[in-house]
Amino acid sequence: MDSKFFSMKYAQALKNLIRNVEGDSWVQSERTKTLFEEIRASIKNNVDQDRSFWRPVLPWGGVYTIKAGRKAISCTPLYVKINLKNTCTIDGFLMLLYVILREKETFPREVAIYLGKDFVEHFLYLMDSYDYTTVKLLWIWDKMEKQQYKSQIHKAALEIDLFGNEHENFTKNLENLMSTIQESLCSNWKCPARFQEYMQRMIKINPPHEIPNGDLIQTAVDEFFCPKIVLCEEIGCDGQREFSQRVFCHGPPPFVILNMQLWKSEELAYVPYYLDLSDHRYSLEGATLFNKEEHHYSAAFQIDGYWMHYDGLRNDNLILLNKPPQFLLLSSLVYIRATEN
Ligand SMILES: [Zn+2]
């Protein structure tokens, strides 16, 4: 099938889904608390006793049943439900994104600059309505590229399989959120490309070559942002290339994701609570964790200083931890911009 046609169909289906959801939920929208407030209240109430949240949040996978009707019948090929598989590659980040958006009043407006106002509004609405399968479909159809996941029709069901890497499925699709730019000038007047500009969409930090003491993560971040002088790599040029300080293209983003896949657990013995990024202070909000044996991702985040662990596969999938988690199986660290004083 023509993939363009297929994705247009998806987009239309998504719009219908959201319309249906919004139509149905007027009745139940009496709920006064957001999911975030519910979680926060549950932390306050059960610090000692039962450590799990009172209901499942964003369970692994998902089934969306398409209501029978003229629209479903006219749909070619015909499928009556959508099955989602291996969603842990987006689940943890969706949970973190939700917590971040609810953490500060100004964040939804700020994140909307990158991800779109409609997306942010629908995302918050669906999360607060506990409509978790639709939230995942919103991410898949609105943010992911068709080639980033597998889909097939199987016995009248559309099956979408998100098996893979969470940075491919999530971090890559955050538009220009973390885009930075760095200029450089070569000292050699005859350099074939004297002035250059480098744009990077991700914050790439590499583990140190030798193991020095101190804050390795901050050191690696500094290395990414700081000015530096290196030998020019243009062919036939022996000049020195001076790089300016790297800056965010659209100002300091509300949150950043550091990809920690290349870091070994001994390098992660110390994870800083505060991080200085391009003259702005960020604080640790959460992390995603990767279990290699099970090829499974989970997430940890904090609310009001209490750490929670989210794992979509567990029955009680959101639990309160009695101390900050061990960050030994890190896939990413997530920092939010701290309030400026
Ligand atoms: Zn040069």
Domain boundaries of the chain, sorted by first residue: 3-173, 180-249
Rounded to the nearest angstrom, the distance between the alpha carbon of 238 and the centre of ligand 1 is 6
Distance from Cα 310 to the centre of ligand 1, integer Å: 50
Residue 195 C-alpha to ligand 1 middle, in angstroms? Answer: 9
Rounded CA-CA distance 221/278 in Å is 9
The whole-number mean pLDDT for each consecutive block of 10 residues of the chain, a chain of 341 residues, reads 47 58 46 87 72 81 79 61 95 97 95 96 96 96 94 89 96 95 96 95 87 84 94 95 95 96 87 92 96 93 92 90 84 90 48
State in Å: Cα 189 to ligand 1 middle.
8
Sequence-ordered list of residues with C-beta below 8 angstroms from that of 105, at least 6 positions apart, any chain: none
**Residue 231 in tokens:** 């030998």
CA 188 / ligand 1 centre spacing (Å): 6
Give CA–CA dist 209/205, Å, rounded. 12
- pLDDT for the residue 11: 57
Q: What is the pLDDT of residue 312?
A: 94
Alpha carbon of 189 to those of 183, 205, 230, 240, 316: distances in Å?
A: 17, 32, 16, 11, 65
Distance 190 CA to ligand 1 centre (A): 7
pLDDT at residue 2, rounded to an integer: 38
Which of 40, 174, 169 lies closest to 110, judged by CA? 174
Q: Which residue has the tokens 């499925």?
A: 169
Question: What's the CA gap between 149 and 84, in Å, rounded?
Answer: 11
Distance in Å, CA 236 to ligand 1 centroid = 8
Ligand 1 centre from 219 Cα, in Å? 27
CA of 183 to the centre of ligand 1 (A): 13
What is the CA(185)–ligand 1 centre distance, in A? Answer: 8
> Separation of 71 CA from ligand 1 center, angstroms?
62
pLDDT of residue 17: 58
Residue 31: predicted pLDDT: 63
Q: How many whole angstroms from 246 Cα to the centroid of ligand 1?
A: 19
Residue 257 CA, ligand 1 centroid: distance in Å? 33
> What tokens appear for 27 in the block?
């009745």
How far apart, in whole angstroms, are the C-alpha atoms of residue 204 and residue 223?
A: 10
β-pairing, 280-291 vs 330-337, is: antiparallel
> Ligand 1 centre and the CA of 245: distance in Å?
19
Question: Beta strand pairing status for 280-291 and 318-320?
Answer: unpaired
Cis amide linkage into residue 77, ω under 30° from 0: yes
User: Alpha-carbon distance 150 to 153, whole Å?
Assistant: 11
Radius of gyration of the chain (CA): 22
Q: Distance from the CA of 264 to the center of ligand 1, in angstroms?
A: 35
Strands (E), the chain: 62-65, 81-85, 150-154, 157-161, 180-186, 195-200, 228-231, 240-243, 247-248, 255-259, 274-277, 280-291, 296-303, 306-310, 318-320, 330-337
pLDDT of residue 25: 44
